[in-house]
Structure 1
Amino acid sequence: MSQLLIRTEAPTPDMFVDDWRPRSAQAPRDDGDDTPFEPLLLALEAELANMLGLRVAVHPGRGIPPGAPDVALDLGGLLATIRLGGDPGRALPHLTGITTARHARQIGEALLPVAHRLWPAGSRRPALVVDVIVSLADGGSVVGSIRLPAPAEPVPLVPPRALGAAAFDLPLRLCVRLADEVVPLSRLLPLQPGLVVGFNICPDMPVLLGDHRVAFAALSPLPDGRQQASITSLDLNPTGERA
């Protein structure tokens, strides 16, 4: 095998990501805290879906302008409409005042215990801002942001425990780089579904663990048609910034 051919395929419609938008100029600066919040975001999705009875998506937010409410009034209007037996597709506008604000506050009160229960240990964020997208039956959506303050007392970090010899029995997923080639941008400009892009296979494929190269491997076919990478030599060499 002297060449590796990669055929591009168009993803299914549900695999396309939402349009990305840059952070608001009024949003607070990123504090560099990369603590994983994914379990918390999934729990917020489930809680909101149960409260509204609709499909909900929760994503990390881009910030809320100073002085804005902690829960978007559009979400409060949607909850008020549902509880009053109205059509979610024609939610109460936020200009209705007290009713909308009260239901928006109830959303925040329901989500705050979930956020505090699953707040990642060691996070330095004073608050978490999420963007909520509620999908309606008619194909429309209601979008709003929610700001949840951090717990008053952060969850204590659990000290690490040495695994000893048990660490050798842990499953470990490694990444093998099949090809690594620098190509001019002009070769990728006609990129489209069905286009075949040729790559030269690395004779000694590096095996990567995080930002480190730990070994070299060779590709060999299996009887069932799959391929396996067999380690041919060990070679520890950091290739990134993480230690």
Structure 2
Amino acid sequence: MDWTICAGLAAGLLISTVTTPVGVSGAVFLLPVQLSVLGVPSPAVTPTNLLFNVVAGPGALWRYRRDGALRGGLARRLVLWTLPGVIAGAAVRVFALPGPDVFRVLVAALLLPLGAWLCLRTLRPARQRFDTAEPSAPALAALALTVGVVGGIYGIGGGSLLGPVLAARGMPMARIAPATLAATFTTSAAGAAAYAVLALASSGPVAPDWWLGLACGLGGLIGGYLGAKLQPCLPETVLRLLLGILAAALGALYAAEAVS
């Protein structure tokens, strides 16, 4: 068996186990592994990451549904508005941002502020009670649509952005995580299909690396189930801080590569 397949499965398993409890599929952290370690070319790395989300998602979602955590309309609203955004983002990624150097800059621009925000919110949490109310309909629509576009460009599904924004409002992670993972899964399926269609009109490496994406996704399927099962037992503060540190470190790495 090719070493990249084994490495992809292990990476998907480990990353998903850690990130699923806070509503992140792990694709945002798997992306640089695929790009720099496993050698997936750009922009094919984006649909490969979306394929990972599609395969990995059902593990966590099945566990959350079994525990009754998917009740309510938050997941449906997020899915409704992220879907058109991810299709638009896929088109932007293929026709406007194909270069690997530009891609590294954009990855750094995403991960650095995301990591800083997560760390700040963890170390200096807002002094407010948890608010179970959703944002207003227009605000939620604008947020989900924007995140869908960004997710389509980066191949991350969007949960790594939706989660922190909703958490900053004071909503509990037990409610946020299932909804953002549901949105990630649905938008990733739409994004992967969009890239498959766009590959017919592009001469570059646009189609996903199917075998590697499936291997990473299988690892994520197992890790996502484990992460969802462990969520009630894991300290939320430690997980948030760990995610922030990882995001900032990966963003700094790509920023250094972009200027070197």
TM-score category of the 2 structures, normalised to the smaller one:
under 0.3
Q: Which has the higher helix share?
A: 2
Greater Rg by CA: 1
Q: Which has the higher strand share?
A: 1
Higher RCO (CA < 8 A, seq sep 6+) = 2
TM-score (norm 2): 0.23
TM-score (norm 1): 0.24
